Structure 1
Amino acid sequence: MSSVSRILATARPTLFSSVRAYSTSSAASEASTAAASSATEAAASSATGYYKVTQTRSLIGVPKSTIKVLKSLGLGRRIGRPVFQPHAPTAAGKILKVKELVKVENMSGTIPAEGYQRTRATKGYKVVGKMLP
């Protein structure tokens, strides 16, 4: 199992927690439905995270379909620039399609400020005002 597959597998909610909550008796069925709904809510709340996807390889010689997948992820402009994708099956499928070209990390909580940093360097000077009237 590759490292990308391992990261994607840890982000998926487990189905077994809701299956174990069900019981065969009718008296326990009402309690089990409440337990199952709380288990699915807990799985949904634990799934609120992000994949930090960073392009590590060039697109030279890559098929057009792979380039389209990278563009749909928000990559393809600069190598080393991170993009944050929510934990979702669509994002996981796209990442698996381009796993040789990217590095993936699991992030929980909100998107950190590094995702919004400027990519350009500072100018080195500051415009104070106009010299001509």
Structure 2
Amino acid sequence: MLPLASLRSCASSSARAQLRAFASAAPPSSTSAAESEPLTHFRITLRRSAISLPKNIKGTLVALGLHRRLQTVYHRHTPDIAGKILTVKELVSVANVPASAVRNKLEQRLERKAPRGYVVTGSKLHAEP
């Protein structure tokens, strides 16, 4: 039987090896244009509610512009934004995105909007006699 210390070292070395393999694996490519662009923004989505959390955590979420669950905001890579993300890291999910992937509030709403389901071919109100 192996001593407990050697089991821990084996487990940690195998975990390290898995992390190295994961890090060296190429990320799945979506488009070639997105890969060539530098990642300049954070896409931050609030995943967990801030109910019953301290005021400083709630204030950090407000400073990031997050007011409700599943809301997504975009911020440029800056040290102050990175610090705010670290403060609320358990509540948010963060992804690095290029500048072309940044969407404002209206663009996000239009992307979520369902298609009409019908097409207007003409109007009797605006028809010429």
Give the TM-score, by structure 2 length: 0.51
Q: Distance in 1 between matches of 2:40 and 2:63?
A: 19
Q: Distance in 1 between matches of 2:103 and 2:78?
A: 22
Q: Distance in 2 between matches of 1:90 and 1:111?
A: 21
Moved over 2 A (4+): 109-122
Identity of aligned residues (%): 38
Task: Look up the match of 2:109.
Answer: 118
Q: Do the aligned partners of 2:41 and 2:102 also contact (CA within 8 Å) in 1? A: no
Which one of 45, 67, 75 corresponds to residue 54 of structure 1? 45
Partner SS, residue 117 of structure 1? helix
Partner SS, residue 99 of structure 1? coil
Greater Rg over alpha carbons, structure: 2
Q: Distance in 2 between matches of 1:94 and 1:60?
A: 18
Matches within 5 A, 1:77-88: 78-88=68-78
Deviations 1:1-60 (A, max 9, x none): xxxxxxxxxxxxxxxxxxxxxxxxxxxxxxxxxxxxxxxxxxxx95x6100000000111
The alignment covers a number of residue pairs equal to 78
Give the TM-score, by structure 1 length: 0.50
Partner SS, residue 61 of structure 2? helix
Matched, 1:70 2:42: no
C-alpha RMSD of matched pairs (Å): 3.0
Corresponding letter in the other structure for 1:103:
S
Matches within 5 A, 1:5-20: none
C-alpha deviation, 1:121, in angstroms: 6.8
Q: Distance in 2 between matches of 1:75 and 1:53?
A: 9
Matches within 5 A, 1:15-30: none
Q: Distance in 2 between matches of 1:92 and 1:83?
A: 14
